[in-house]
């Protein structure tokens, strides 16, 4: 293997080191107080290596945010087997998976970091929304469109209804969690049960076999 091949082989690992270091420092000190020198030192690489991957601190912050958003979206992704479940059970499964994702320490940390830097980088709001919440909303909308096509729910604006369902799940749980008030599991279960019950009552097509569920 040539010297160039060795350098290329090391590049992804160094890039990950830089992102990991940047994430830790941005969370600990914020964007303004974090220097590229500090990031390089935390990552164990030279500052030239950092700049070889990211042209500026702004670009590095954006890359850090995008990576964290991808990780959050993976947690928010709908369970693959919901399409084959009865409506109420599928919605309950979606609800629990959604709350576990948005109330996770990783997601709460990312939200705080993005909110703190929005005045400096207003584009971060769009990056965050499109990378995580927006994609989750699209997934729920798609599930509802499929449920409507199969006659499980009546005619409705699936995009609007998906947003309402996710909003009902958030309730005040997310703001409490952001403020350091950890919701009890029983509270989360109650929120999911009520959101599903309201949805089924409003939108489910009643059948003799399932009673609308």
Instruction: State how many domains the chain has.
Output: 2
Supply the pLDDT for residue 174: 94
Amino acid 104: pLDDT: 87
Whether 77 and 182 map to the same domain: the answer is: yes
Closest C-alpha to 140, from 176, 167, 105, 100: 167
Q: Specify which residues 204 forms β-bridges with.
A: 153
Q: How far apart are CA 91 and CA 162, in angstroms?
A: 11
Tokens encoding 200? 């089924």
213 domain-assigned: no
What integer pLDDT is reported at residue 61 of this predicted model?
A: 86
Does residue 95 sit in the same domain as residue 191? Answer: yes
Question: What is residue 110's predicted lDDT score, i.e. its pLDDT?
Answer: 81
pLDDT per residue, tens digit, the chain (213 aa), is: 444 344 334 455 888 999 999 988 988 888 888 999 999 999 999 999 999 999 988 888 888 888 887 777 676 666 667 878 899 999 999 999 899 889 988 888 888 888 888 888 888 888 888 878 888 899 899 999 999 999 999 999 999 999 999 999 999 999 999 999 999 999 999 999 999 999 999 999 975 444 444
pTM of this prediction?
0.77
The CATH code of the domain that includes 6 is 1.10.10.60
76, 41: one domain: no
Task: List Cβ neighbours of 120 (8 Å cut-off, separation of 6 or more).
Answer: 31, 32
Predicted pLDDT of residue 5: 42
Residue 209 lies in a domain: no
Return d(Cα 96, Cα 85) in angstroms, integer: 15
Is residue 47 classed exposed, middle or buried when 0-12, 13-18 and 19+ CB atoms within 10 A define those classes?
middle
- From 32, 16, 102, select the one nearest 64 (Cα to Cα): 16
Q: Residue 213: what pLDDT?
A: 41
Domain range for 193 is: 71-203
Sign of CA dihedral 155, 156, 158, 162: negative
**Segments in the chain forming alpha helices (H):** 3-29, 36-43, 47-53, 57-76, 87-102, 105-117, 123-131, 133-149, 158-170, 173-178, 185-203
Same domain, 49 and 125: no
- Residue 8 pLDDT: 39
Are 97 and 78 contacting, i.e. CB atoms less than 8 angstroms apart? yes
Give the SS3 label for residue 181.
Answer: coil
C-alpha dihedral sign at 139, 140, 145, 146: positive
**Can you tell me the distance from the alpha carbon of 141 to that of 145, in angstroms, rounded to the nearest whole number?**
6
Residue 190's nearest CA partner among 105, 101, 99 is: 99
Question: What was the pLDDT predicted at 135?
Answer: 86
- Based on the fold, state whether residues 90 and 34 are members of the same structural domain: no
| Same domain? 42 vs 113 | no
In a domain, 211, yes or no: no
């Amino acid at each position: 293997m040539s010297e160039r091949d060795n350098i290329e082989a090391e590049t992804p690992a160094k890039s990950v080191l830089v992102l990991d270091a940047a994430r830790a420092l941005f969370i600990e000190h914020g964007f303004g107080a974090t220097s590229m020198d500090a990031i390089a030192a935390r990552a164990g690489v030279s500052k030239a290596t950092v700049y070889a991957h990211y042209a500026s601190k702004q670009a590095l912050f954006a890359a850090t945010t995008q990576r964290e958003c991808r990780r959050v979206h993976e947690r928010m992704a709908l369970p693959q087997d919901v399409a084959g479940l009865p409506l109420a059970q599928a919605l309950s499964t979606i609800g629990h998976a959604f709350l576990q994702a948005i109330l996770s320490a990783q997601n709460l940390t990312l939200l705080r970091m993005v909110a703190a830097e929005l005045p400096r980088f207003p584009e971060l709001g769009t990056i965050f929304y499109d990378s995580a919440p927006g994609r989750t909303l699209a997934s729920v909308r798609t599930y509802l469109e499929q449920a409507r096509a199969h006659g499980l729910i009546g005619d409705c604006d699936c995009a609007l209804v998906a947003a309402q369902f996710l909003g009902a799940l958030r309730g005040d749980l997310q703001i409490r969690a952001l403020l350091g008030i950890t919701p009890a599991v029983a509270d989360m279960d109650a929120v999911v049960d009520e959101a599903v019950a309201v949805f089924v009552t409003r939108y489910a097509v009643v059948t003799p076999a399932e009673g609308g569920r």
